[in-house]
């Protein structure tokens, strides 16, 4: 049974939140809850029917292509954009009527957005001064936040004296220094180079765990989402496609969109050629493969067999064999990626550990996969369950 939080919540009467908001606040409340929110820019609806419940202390990522509404959702929590329908609750209290300056939220953006002429101390202290914290307490907390982001002693430096990664750490320190209820991170790593990005992934995750802060992270990078998140919300065109753990969304994508967006997936179109014991699908390329169907499927029905490249291996004893010719081969040290032409205009991708030799372009090859290693989608692109 999945947790009740961090999943799409069932609709509730609109009045419930308003009348019991005070009573509902407390340790058991989700850190953030969206109830059927809609957000429009003029006539354009950017987010539709968005519902999500985020457990305290968890790290949730909104993942989706550019323009799908991720930033808009973050902005709605911070009060930077109005919602046109639904409710947002923070710690069990409605926030749609709370002005921005009273929302206790930390923000980190793609651009570091540090004050260029203020030193690190003043940049980090900003949220504390604003909240009238006494000076000695400010000094102590800024020092602690800088230690958190592993830049102790940099109080007197100017942003221009720091690298991009360091500036982003300062931005993070500034966002966590006043112990916000929620930390919002909008593509905070996208301006960094690849090495720094990976380092910061680990760093941000560590700080989030150490502080126990609830984080909502936005990215269009699937690897970032998979490696950092407790839960991922996959979005497409203003709507939720799937919510789940990284493993759930990667291994059992709910839709063709999710399968395709989360890394390379082989999407093999075919027709159900045997409806039971075991179910078999004949691919458009002609081969027949066995699959695990969660329910009996009508013979002749059109389905798509989704197989991740990592589930296809050379020389493995998988129940399904696909043979073809290597179109391209990339040697990656411990593994190799092959694009394989299996006929009928179908190319599949295999990411397989090296066992024995590396195949070359033009060579005949056979790859196998287990029936358990695939997911079936119906004609509408929805997972058959």
Ligand X SMILES: Nc1ncnc2c1ncn2[C@@H]1O[C@H](COP(=O)(O)OP(=O)(O)O)[C@@H](O)[C@H]1O
Query: Looking at 68-76, 85-93, 264-272, 335-343, which segment touches ligand X (CB under 6 A)?
Result: 68-76
41 is a site residue for ligand X (CB under 6 A)? yes
46 is a site residue for ligand X (CB under 6 A)? yes
127 is a site residue for ligand X (CB under 6 A)? no
Residue 101 binding result from Mg ion, ligand X, none, given CB thresholds of 5 to 8 Å by partner type: none
68 is a site residue for ligand X (CB under 6 A)? yes
72 is a site residue for ligand X (CB under 6 A)? yes
Give least dist CB 186 to ligand X, A: 7
Residue 35 binding result from ligand X, Mg ion, none, given CB thresholds of 5 to 8 Å by partner type: none
Name which of 58 and 71 has its Cβ closer to ligand X.
71
Query: Looking at 67-75, 90-98, 150-158, 316-324, which segment touches ligand X (CB under 6 A)?
Result: 67-75
Q: In this chain, which of 55, 70, 201, 308 binds ligand X, going by CB under 6 A? A: 70
Cβ-proximal residue to Mg ion, closest one: 71
44 is a site residue for ligand X (CB under 6 A)? yes
Give least dist CB 273 to Mg ion, A: 44
Residue with tokens 């909104």: 62
Q: In this chain, which of 10, 15, 66, 195 binds ligand X, going by CB under 6 A? A: 66
Give least dist CB 40 to ligand X, A: 9
Give least dist CB 36 to ligand X, A: 18
Q: In this chain, which of 61, 71, 167, 313 binds ligand X, going by CB under 6 A? A: 71
Give least dist CB 243 to ligand X, A: 16
Give least dist CB 113 to Mg ion, A: 14
Query: CA-based angle 221:38:205, to the nearest 5?
Result: 30
Work out whether strand 266-274 and strand 302-307 pair parallel, antiparallel, or are unpaired. antiparallel
Query: Looking at 39-47, 53-61, 98-106, 313-321, which segment touches ligand X (CB under 6 A)?
Result: 39-47
Give least dist CB 74 to Mg ion, A: 8
Secondary structure of the chain in HEC code, one letter for each residue: CCCCCCCCCCCCCHHHHHHHHHHHCCCCCCCEEEEEEEEEECCEEEEEEEEEEECCCCEEEEECCCCCCHHHHHHHHHCCCCCCEEEEEECCEECCCCCHHHCCEEEECCCCCCCCCCCHHHHHHHHHHHCCCCHHHHHHHHHHHHHHCCCCCCCCCCHHHCCHHHHHHHHHHHHHCCCCCEEEEECCCCCCCHHHHHHHHHHHHHHHHHHCCEEEEEECCHHHHHHHCCEEEEEECCEEEEEECHHHHHHCCCEHHHHHHCCCCEEEEEEEEECCCCEEEEECCCCEEEECCCCCCCCCCEEEEEECHHHCEECCCCCEEEEEEEEEEEECCCEEEEEEECCCCCEEEEEEECCCCCCCCCCEEEEEECHHHEEEECCCCEECC
Query: Looking at 27-35, 62-70, 162-170, 249-257, which segment touches ligand X (CB under 6 A)?
Result: 62-70
Residue with tokens 């606040």: 25
53 is a site residue for Mg ion (CB under 5 A)? no
Residue 44 binding result from ligand X, Mg ion, none, given CB thresholds of 5 to 8 Å by partner type: ligand X
Residue 46 binding result from Mg ion, ligand X, none, given CB thresholds of 5 to 8 Å by partner type: ligand X
Q: In this chain, which of 51, 58, 71, 352 binds Mg ion, going by CB under 5 A? A: 71
Edge-to-edge strand list for the sheet holding 302-307:
288-291, 279-283, 266-274, 302-307, 374-377
CB 280 within 8 A of CB 291: yes
Backbone angles phi, psi at 384, to 5 degrees: -80, 120
Give least dist CB 65 to ligand X, A: 7
Give least dist CB 343 to Mg ion, A: 41
Residues engaged in binding Mg ion (CB under 5 A): 71
Residues engaged in binding ligand X (CB under 6 A): 41, 44, 46, 64, 66-72
């Amino acid at each position: 049974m999945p947790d009740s939080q961090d999943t799409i919540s069932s609709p509730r009467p609109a009045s419930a939140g308003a009348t019991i908001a005070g009573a509902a606040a407390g340790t058991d409340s989700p850190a953030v809850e969206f109830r059927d929110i809609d957000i429009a820019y003029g006539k354009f609806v950017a987010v539709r029917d968005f519902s999500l419940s985020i457990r305290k202390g968890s790290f949730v990522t909104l993942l989706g292509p550019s323009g799908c509404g991720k930033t808009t959702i973050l902005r709605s929590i911070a009060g930077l954009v109005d919602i046109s329908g639904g409710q947002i609750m923070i710690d069990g209290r409605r926030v749609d009527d709370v002005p921005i300056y009273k929302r206790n939220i930390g923000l980190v953006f793609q651009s570091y957005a540090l004050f260029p002429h203020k030193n690190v101390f003043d940049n980090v202290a900003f949220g504390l001064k604003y909240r009238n914290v006494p000076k000695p307490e400010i000094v102590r907390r800024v020092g602690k936040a800088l230690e958190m982001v592993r830049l102790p002693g940099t109080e007197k430096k100017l942003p221009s004296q720091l690298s991009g990664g360091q500036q982003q750490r300062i931005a993070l320190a500034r966002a966590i220094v006043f112990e916000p209820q929620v930390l919002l991170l909008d593509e905070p790593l996208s301006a960094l180079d690849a090495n720094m990005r990976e380092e910061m992934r680990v760093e941000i995750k560590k700080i989030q765990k150490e502080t126990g802060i609830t984080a909502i992270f936005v990215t269009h990078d699937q690897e970032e989402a998979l490696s950092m998140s407790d839960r991922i919300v996959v979005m497409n065109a203003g709507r939720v496609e799937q919510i789940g753990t990284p493993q759930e969304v990667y291994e059992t994508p709910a839709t063709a969109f999710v399968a395709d967006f989360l890394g390379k997936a082989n999407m093999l179109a075919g027709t159900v050629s045997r409806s039971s014991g075991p179910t078999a699908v004949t691919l458009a390329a002609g081969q027949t493969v066995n699959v695990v169907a969660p329910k009996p499927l009508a013979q002749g029905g059109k389905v798509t067999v989704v197989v991740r490249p990592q589930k296809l291996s050379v020389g493995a004893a998988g129940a399904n064999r696909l043979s073809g010719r290597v179109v391209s081969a990339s040697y990656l040290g411990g593994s190799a990626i092959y694009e394989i032409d299996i006929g009928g205009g179908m190319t599949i991708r295999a990411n397989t550990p090296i066992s024995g030799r590396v195949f070359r372009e033009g060579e005949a090859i056979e790859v196998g996969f287990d029936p358990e290693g695939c997911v079936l989608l119906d004609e509408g692109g929805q997972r058959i369950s």
